Amino acid sequence: MARFLAEAVMVLHFAVLAFLLLGGFVAWRWRGVIYPHLAIGAWAILSLLVPVTCPLTTAEEFFRARAGMPSLGTGFIDHYIDGVWYPESASTLVQLVLGSIVIFSWIGFYAGHRAARRLSRC
């Protein structure tokens, strides 16, 4: 059961990262999504600036230990993504590109929200 829970937390972690990348675009259609998306975005920025451990990483490590699986080591991103999906030397570039996508989604959300408010006043 612990192995299943470790893997479930890993899948959830990937889903959170996908939401971080794409949630702003989802908010273009469903406005209320912007609030959890902003919260996850704030967490992502904080985790880049301050050495904090993600609660999902902590949960996965807990279940991995219970299942007798090896530790992730340095963390979720370093274990599953850096050096796996792209070379580690490209980490900064990838962060900038992904951050730009998120910021673009926020700008699009804001522009769409302003346009909708203007139309509703007419």
**pLDDT score at 5:** 97
**pLDDT score at 122:** 62
Chain-centre distance for alpha carbon 99: 10
**pLDDT score at 120:** 73
**pLDDT score at 51:** 87
- Which residue reads 């509703």 in tokens? 120
CA distances (Å), origin 30, targets 25, 35, 70, 104, 112 = 9, 11, 40, 17, 11
Q: pLDDT tens, position by position, for the chain (122 residues)?
A: 999 999 999 999 999 999 999 999 999 999 999 999 999 999 999 988 998 989 999 999 999 999 999 999 888 988 999 888 889 899 889 989 999 999 999 999 999 887 777 777 76
CA distances (Å), origin 112, targets 27, 30, 31, 69, 120 = 10, 11, 10, 47, 12
CA–CA separation, 105 and 24 (whole Å): 5
**pLDDT score at 48:** 85
Q: How many CB atoms lie within 10 A of CB 57?
A: 20
pTM score of the predicted model: 0.85
| Backbone angles phi and psi of 54, in degrees to 5 | -70, 135
**pLDDT score at 1:** 95
